[in-house]
Amino acid sequence: SMLQRLAATLRRPAAVPLAAAVRCISSGSVDITVPLNYWAGKRWTSKEKCNKENVYEPATGRVLCHLEPCGAVEVDEAVEAAKSAFGHWSKMSGMERARIMIEAAHIIESRREEIAEMEVVNNGKSITEARLDVDSARLCIEYYAGLASTLAGQHVQLPGGSFAYTRREPLGVCVGIGAWNYPFQIAAWKSAPALACGNSMVFKPSPVTPVTAVMLAEIYAEAGAPEGLLNVVQGGQETGSLLCHHPDVAKVSFTGSVPTGKKIMEMASKGVKPVTLELGGKSPLLIFQDSDLENAVRGALMANFLSQGQVCSNGTRVFVQKNILPEFVEEVVKRTRAIEIGDPLLESTRMGALVNQPHLEKVLSFVDQAKKEGATVLLPCILLANTINDLNTMTCVKEEIFGPVMSVLSFETEEEVLQRANNTTMGLAAGVFTRDVMRAHRVVEHLKAGSCFINNYNITPVEVPFGGFKMSGIGRENGQVTVEHYSQLKTVFVEMGDVDCLF
């Protein structure tokens, strides 16, 4: 079965040289010994040596490196470095910042393969997907480099020749806290808009995937950024909490789970710091009977199986109109069986390993629970919800599984499916497949989700805003609007006459 094969991938004995001969590295062969903390232009080992933790390679279960979590001293040093860089960077023109960011994008392009390989070794996703993640990171930096020189305020005329103007100013030292599902891409999606606006950043990757964010920090430095512009501190909750509470931190941008997002918001509230929260989802995908079935099936696969299903925006509740359910199920099962699962460094692999053993077990337990609750298990990764009790009562339909598990539900009317689709506390994404253009826009208008797709799913071009409604988050990443989340407006009143004094 698909999940058993995934489990086997995860448990494969160490050091089996499975990768293509042309590749520089192979699964099970990499040991990372260089320090992974980075600030003030250098890699650092942590002073808290006793807290070292193992970091595993998902594809083999082998120890890849050791995480050295940063304590208060290191966090202070990193924030200090970012403050110093902010002094220089914020005074540069947008054009000057853009030049350095474009150079960073060129370096990423030239090191695409190396970065992608390290992402695979640390995260377990296929090399094909990892390359696309590196491209997305590069494109995001290019995009915000383009916007850097367009940042401007407004001139407002007031009576008597007086006027006011607004300045769009950076916030200061921003903190980025990342998840393990898109380690390099998340570091870029957070740092690119922050830096374009003139901020500096301290980034904390997930302790599960500490390897590639530091590569991005070094790339900015190599491109000519001032020392300390992007700093990386490793660690988990404690390090994250030190960053959120730090008095010199102006903003926190977080990607991860809803429970942690709430904690981040609470911590940031102590210092009245703005937050961007990119949290989880339980997104619906609506497939109407007039859809192009082949594209709908492709969309459902894209909505569920990228990054081994470990994607926040996944459309895991696939609602299919009753008349086409048998056809849809047959085709989606056929296409799913054909997914090439294996060593993520192989070109032929389309699905690699889940991020670690505990996560795999958690995903499998959702499948077991679904069976107990009456779902028909078509493949371990496709659950067909029984039409009587599927009205958002089954655990697999309510909770974020964050694995390659698609729940298929049937519906009869547009009104009914909209009610069921919106019956969730989350609202990150949603999708609709239909050939009826009127229906498509009508449905999208009623879907309570921040990112809606018509006749596609899970594409994230960096030019468009991405983010959630309801408990899926606050703020947006990507697109022009994100500039507003990494800058603040200063209004300047200019009096050209006498002060009209009331006293």
The residue ranges that bind ligand NAI (CB under 6 A) are: 177-181, 204, 206-207, 236-237, 240-241, 244, 255-257, 260, 263-264, 279-280, 312, 400, 402
Q: What is the DSSP string of 345-384?
A: TSTT-SB---S-HHHHHHHHHHHHHHHHTT-EEEETTEEE
Tell me which residues are annotated as active site.
Answer: 278
Torsion (CA) 212, 214, 216, 219 in degrees, nearest 10: -130
Q: Which does 178 bind (CB under 5 to 8 A by kind): ligand ABU, ligand NAI, none?
A: ligand NAI
Tokens representing residue 101 in the block: 């960011």
Whether 92 contacts 145, CB under 8 Å: no
Question: Can you tell me whether residue 126 is helix, strand or coil?
Answer: coil
* Segment interacting with ligand ABU (CB under 6 A) among 12-20, 63-71, 310-318, 480-488: 310-318
Strand partners for 128: none
- Least gap, CB of 267 to ligand NAI (angstroms): 7
The 185-214 site mask, x for binding ligand ABU (CB under 6 A), equals x-----------------------------
Tokens representing residue 247 in the block: 């008095």
Choose, by CB under 6 A, the member of 181, 191, 212, 356 that binds ligand ABU: 181
SS (H, E, C) 168-205: EEECCEEEEECCCCCHHHHHHHHHHHHHHCCCEEEEEC
Choose, by CB under 6 A, the member of 209, 239, 313, 410 that binds ligand ABU: 313
Q: Which does 460 bind (CB under 5 to 8 A by kind): ligand NAI, ligand ABU, none?
A: ligand ABU
Nearest to 168 by CA among 484, 451, 434, 489: 489
Tokens representing residue 338 in the block: 């054909």
Q: Which of residues 235-294 bind ligand ABU (CB under 6 A)?
A: 255
DSSP-derived secondary structure letter, 477: B
Whether 409 contacts 320, CB under 8 Å: yes
Tally of CB atoms within 10 A around 313: 27
- Least gap, CB of 472 to ligand NAI (angstroms): 8
> Can you say whether the dihedral through the CA atoms of 408, 409, 413, 419 is positive or negative?
negative
Residue 451 touching ligand ABU (CB under 6 A): no
DSSP-derived secondary structure letter, 322: G
What's the N-to-C CA distance of the chain in angstroms?
83
Which residue number, 183 or 198, has a Cβ lying nearer to ligand ABU? 183
Tell me the HSE value of 82 on the side-chain side, using a 13 A CA sphere.
33
* Segment interacting with ligand ABU (CB under 6 A) among 105-113, 206-214, 305-313, 408-416: 305-313
Q: Which does 77 bind (CB under 5 to 8 A by kind): ligand ABU, ligand NAI, none?
A: none
Whether 241 contacts 155, CB under 8 Å: no
Residue count at the site for ligand ABU (CB under 6 A)? 8
- Least gap, CB of 225 to ligand ABU (angstroms): 24
- Least gap, CB of 310 to ligand NAI (angstroms): 7
Choose, by CB under 6 A, the member of 56, 182, 328, 453 that binds ligand ABU: 182
* Segment interacting with ligand ABU (CB under 6 A) among 64-72, 75-83, 307-315, 326-334: 307-315
Q: Which does 105 bind (CB under 5 to 8 A by kind): ligand ABU, ligand NAI, none?
A: none
Residue number closest to ligand NAI, CB atom: 240
Q: Which of residues 314-353 bind ligand ABU (CB under 6 A)?
A: none
Interface residues with ligand ABU (CB under 6 A) are 181-182, 185, 255, 311-313, 460
